[in-house]
Chains A and B, each alone.
Chain A
Amino acid sequence: MYRKKGKFTGEGVIPYSGEGSTVTIEGAAVCTQTGCAYTGNEAVAYAAKQCNVDVVSAYPITPQTIIVERFSEYVANGEVDTKFLAVESEHSAMSACVGASLGGARVFTSTASQGLALMHEVLYLASGLRCPIVMAVVNRALSAPINIHGDQSDMMGSRDCGWIQLFAENAQESYDLTIQAFKIAEDKGVHLPVSVNLDGFTVSHATESMKACADEDVHKFLPPRESLFKVDPTTPISVGGMALPEYYYEFKRQQEEALQLSKLFVNRVGKEYGKMTGRRYGYLRTYGLEDADAAVISLGSTCGNVRSVARTLRAKGKKVGAIKLWMYRPFPREELFSAIKDLKALAVMDRAISFGAPQGALCSDIAATLLNTGSDIKILNMIYGLGGRDIPPSTINTVFTDTLRAAKTGKVKERINYLDVRE
């Protein structure tokens, strides 16, 4: 299962073709798709339904509630034969998921914010025991003070948990990434859990038009799960054993290799999904980077705003671009570098504070990407949108102005900019 490391040559970097379409059709779509109007949450629940999930164990929390609500309706109506486990907390939800997944089941769950924080301990078990669980994380701020609105502090707090982490921009991507997540997670070369992140309320509660595949096409794309191992009385195994200093390190090294190599599968599945639906996925999506001096990189729902502002500025002749990161872990270092290497300045949008750190989490990863490459790209770090603070086009406009100035002068004024905070 350990393949020789492939060469990464920009594969998985998908440019936007044409002006501003959020969905790019590359070649004719081969499957029939139905137009529908769904919120991000409904889209995720619908995707999970089509994926023939065996077990769902979840606990409701705003703004994820509707995923669980909708899915339990499917169960109550007999539309799915899923075993729905109503548990007393998120800690139990993830524990039940780990057990079910080790038993060979296809498992789905969903949470947000404090719920994810309560799961934190078990997240490491899921990845360490190589359980291909898929979890939708509806990103929400963390207490205190208590807040139910969108920011990415929750997932950034658990970013080292060994999960593959994907970020969706809208309802369509939430749907698409959920289906792909099962295929990625369950591949025998991966065998790791995947989280699909969607921004609380901005994506989870906004109704958008999107396209959904037919059930048969999803079933064909995603055959029933086969596992490398499972807890089964006919072939008994022990899982969750102790590994003291002589062994633990080797297991963790092995797990890291599996996570790093999983990116090849993320791209392969994105390509296959593109062939089926016409929507090609990969690691990141670029807009206007072919001639840009300055660009902005972001995760999740903000990418739409950034692209929209970039389009306006490009119409005025400014050389700007935008980057959307679909896959945050494993971090697509080589591919991102190949996309940004010709820029003069790059603004990194972080929707979470990494307290006490030199920069935001995403910015630290980008700085590490550029380390020892001899690159002289000026990096600006923008913290924004905490606790659901709106991020209007006017603010993104100032980000582009600052980035263009840095590109021109080669100087960065502030180490971190806190956008739209009252001074």
Chain B
Amino acid sequence: MSKEKSLAEKMKLPWKKMPIAGIMFEPGSTVEYRTGEWRIEKKPAINQDKCIRCFICWIVCPDVSITRQPKPYKNYTESVEVDYYHCKGCGICAAECPVDAIEMVEESKVVP
């Protein structure tokens, strides 16, 4: 997870300074909401060697937290990575992966 202060932290204003009626004056602010904080115990870890780049996980992720990165890896032109800032740890990606390249690991485990 990024060590940068999330918008949620930055926006903790006193009540008099909150925008009237909870109006949002800028679009797309939800992307700054760290839903990754909701994760409990397990997080997905992708084994780049096992992964066949079928992108099924990318399709099924309900939170758009599986990302396609333009990083070449062996024969592949792309890599598949997890956006831990937003991943809620539902485990659908791990369940759907046809080659078992995704494993739900302990939160504390360092993932490359």
Q: Which residues of A contact B (CB under 8 A)?
A: 1-2, 128-130, 191, 228-229, 236-241, 243, 246-247, 249-251, 253-254, 257
Contact = CB atoms under 8 A, between A and B. Distances in A.
Contact of A239 (B8, B21, B27): B21
Interface string B1-41: 00000001001111110101111110100000000000000
A51 to B, nearest CB: 23
A250 B20 CA distance: 10
Contacts of A237: 23-25
Given A239-B23, A247-B22, A253-B15, 8 more contacts: A129-B21, A229-B21, A238-B27, A239-B22, A241-B23, A243-B22, A251-B18, A251-B22
Nearest to B9: A246
What is the interface of chain A mostly: helix, strand, loop, or mixed? loop
**Which interface residue of A238, A246, A249, A253 has the most chain B CB atoms within 10 A?**
A238
Contact of B22 (A1, A241, A246, A257): A241
- 3 closest cross-chain pairs (CB), A and B: A250-B15, A238-B24, A130-B21
Contacts of B8: 246
Contact of A2 (B16, B22, B24): B16
B12 A246 contact: yes
Contacts of A246: 8, 12
Interface residues of B, number: 15
Contacts of B11: 247
Contacts, number: 51
A250 B18 CA distance: 7
Interface in B27-81: 27
A241 B24 contact: yes
Given A236-B27, A246-B12, A228 B18 contact: no
B24 to A, nearest CB: 4
A265 to B, nearest CB: 16
B25 A191 contact: no
Contacts of B20: 1, 130, 191, 228-229, 254
20 contacts: A1-B20, A128-B22, A130-B21, A191-B20, A228-B20, A229-B20, A229-B21, A229-B23, A236-B27, A237-B25, A239-B22, A239-B24, A241-B22, A241-B23, A246-B8, A247-B11, A247-B18, A251-B15, A254-B16, A254-B18
Nearest to B25: A237
B23 to A, nearest CB: 5
A184 B12 CA distance: 31
A20 to B, nearest CB: 45
A393 B8 CA distance: 61
**Which interface residue of B8, B14, B18, B20 has the most chain A CB atoms within 10 A?**
B20
Contacts of A257: 15-16
A229 B11 CA distance: 21
Contacts of A228: 20
A240 B23 CA distance: 7
Contacts of A2: 16
A128 B21 contact: yes
A179 to B, nearest CB: 25
A236 B23 CA distance: 11
